[in-house]
Structure 1
Amino acid sequence: MIWLKAFVSGFLATLIFHQGLFTLFHVAGAGAAEPFNFEPVPPLGIPAVVSLSFFGGLWGLVLWALLGRLATRPFWALSVVLGALFPTAVAMLVVFPLKGLAVSQTTWLGGLLLNGFWGLGVAVFLALMGARRPPDPIS
């Protein structure tokens, strides 16, 4: 059950945190692409935002596998840091080149911000679903 919660947390964090911040960037004129892209993507023709959220769910599983047993404070901080670093590195070094998209300082910075906020969202949803234990009492 915990793995389902981790997947759902990553999926929802993509829709709410990642795409929410992406919307703010877009409204501020900092992003050329529009958030919540419903254009179909190959090979299955599902909307791009659903595909992105699915992969967000898979990354949620990775975060849980790496951080699930950590104490409360390190869990929250590392969710943001690893959420920023790992998905951004894979996107910039693998996904963007495969899709023929340009990689620049701006895309790296945007990716780090969006994915760090996504990592925070994963931690929030895991906590809301009871996947995180309460903080250890101070002795």
Structure 2
Amino acid sequence: MQSYSITSHRMNIHELILVFLCGVGATLIFHQGCIYLFGKLQIIAVHPWDMTLIPSIKLPRVFFLSFLGGVLGLPAFYLGRTLQKMMPAIYYWIGLTLFGAIFFTLVEVFMLFPYYQVNTTPKMLVVGLIANGLWGIGHALCINFPLRNYQRRGKIF
């Protein structure tokens, strides 16, 4: 079985797929769930789980966003594993929450918003920090339990 090294931990392809799927799931449940709540509270006028096609790639926005969440889940995993080895457990949760909040918001502001020609407002930044921070919590939750079980027993569930 092919393996990849992330710090001193050797990852196999099953773990990489699990980490990617955790990022996808965290996007669909935590991030988009937060967007849904902000929409219901009429704080923002953005629709969660948006199925409109992105013209250049002919893919629904929610699929692209989920894929991006999965891909960016890989460096989040690296950060989380590094924090778990160096510090108490609370820093794992704080680190992934801050990683999601800050890194994803920077990706939105400097890559996605210019691409979609969206003007950045302070309200959008605050909503982005909260929704992306929740992505970090969701990713940490999703990774922590199944991956630990996989490493201990050789099975994900």
Question: Scaled by the length of structure 2, what TM-score is found?
Answer: 0.79
Structure 1 portions without partners, runs of 5+: 135-139
Counterpart Cα distance in 2 of 1:100 and 1:111: 16
Q: CA RMSD in A?
A: 1.8
Which residue does 2:11 correspond to in 1?
none
In the TM superposition, what is the alpha-carbon distance from 1:40 to its structure 2 partner? 1.2
Query: Which structure shows the higher strand fraction?
Result: 2
Which residue does 2:125 correspond to in 1?
108
Q: Which residue of the other structure, out of 83, 86, 97, is the alignment partner of 1:70? A: 83
Q: Is 2:116 aligned against 1:99?
A: yes
- Which letter does structure 1 place at the counterpart of 2:20? F
In the TM superposition, what is the alpha-carbon distance from 1:33 to its structure 2 partner? 1.3
Which residue does 1:87 correspond to in 2?
104
In the TM superposition, what is the alpha-carbon distance from 1:45 to its structure 2 partner? 1.5
Q: Is 2:49 aligned against 1:45?
A: no
Q: Give deviations 1:3-33, integer Å, cap 9, x for gaps.
A: 2121111100000000111111111101111
- Which letter does structure 1 place at the counterpart of 2:92? F
- Which letter does structure 2 place at the counterpart of 1:121? G
For CA contacts below 8 A with separation 6 or more, give which structure has more relative contact order.
1
Counterpart Cα distance in 1 of 2:33 and 2:65: 13
Q: Is the contact made by 2:15 and 2:147 (CA closer than 8 Å) also made in structure 1?
A: no
In the TM superposition, what is the alpha-carbon distance from 1:104 to its structure 2 partner? 1.3
Paired residues in the alignment total: 134
Q: Is 2:40 aligned against 1:27?
A: yes
Q: Is the contact made by 1:5 and 1:131 (CA closer than 8 Å) also made in structure 2?
A: no
Counterpart Cα distance in 1 of 2:58 and 2:129: 28
